[in-house]
Amino acid sequence: MPTFAGSKIGNRVDGRARVALCPGRGGVALRLVFSVLLGVDLVGLSIVILRPVVRHLAVVDVWAGLALGFAVVLGVLGVFALRMAAAELRLLRHPRPLLGFDEDGLECAAGRVRWQDVERIALKCEQDSSAYDLHVTLVPHASPVLGPSGFAWDGVSFESSELRVPLRGVAKKQALERLGVFYRGSVA
């Protein structure tokens, strides 16, 4: 579990104020609906194909074999899509934060970084996307301290003293507001 409780400004854990940055629920809900519809459609289609094949199982020809194989593949894909829907439902009910901030530093899936170890922070937009990534450049010889984490791991990376955290589903204004509660430096 993350050390940051919730996503509201002013939450207190161990007597200290903490802020968590969670992705928006709109994208999760959309993926949930899409996964459920896809899974139900694929399973239903496989049943529609299997019904006549099973009825005439005594007469096995090439077309019946292909239909049987196709129906089984559709059924497996449908079950996989429903499994994805279950994961999205879990994220909708219990969102995993992307980042957490407090007066000592920031924390993400890659670990914890003290504010003293941060050289600069930048919000960068990918060229072909409207989503932002938070780039945290650390001072030389500093690295995130690993620990148990309940933070979302999607795309988080740490290479050559730069920590990159994708902020998918988070508005730039919200990210700057939450970061500004504890970080006193400028954000490029």
Domain ranges of the chain: 11-23+97-180, 26-93
Of the candidates 166, 171, 168, the residue with the CA atom closest to the CA atom of residue 27: 168
Give CA–CA dist 22/36, Å, rounded: 23
- Within 10 A of 139 (CB to CB), how many other CB atoms are there? 11
Give the torsion through C-alpha atoms of 31, 32, 38, 43, to 10 deg: 150
> Residue 4, exposed/middle/buried by CB under 10 A (0-12, 13-18, 19+)?
buried
What is the band of 148 on the pLDDT scale with cuts at 50, 70, 90?
Answer: low
What is the band of 45 on the pLDDT scale with cuts at 50, 70, 90?
Answer: confident
**If you average pLDDT over residues 135-161, what whole number do you get?**
81
**If you average pLDDT over residues 102-121, what whole number do you get?**
87
Round to the nearest angstrom and report the end-to-end CA distance of the chain: 31
Mean of pLDDT over the chain: 79
> Is-contact 81 124, C-beta < 8 A?
no
Residues 6 or more apart whose Cβ sits within 8 Å of residue 122: 134, 135, 137, 187, 188
Give how far the C-alpha of residue 80 lies from the chain's centroid of Cα atoms, to the nearest Å: 18
Give CA–CA dist 51/160, Å, rounded: 58
pTM comes to: 0.63
**What are the structure tokens assigned to 187, written together?**
């954000």
pLDDT tens readout for residues 17-36: 777 777 777 777 888 898 89
Q: Which residue has the tokens 């901030």?
A: 101
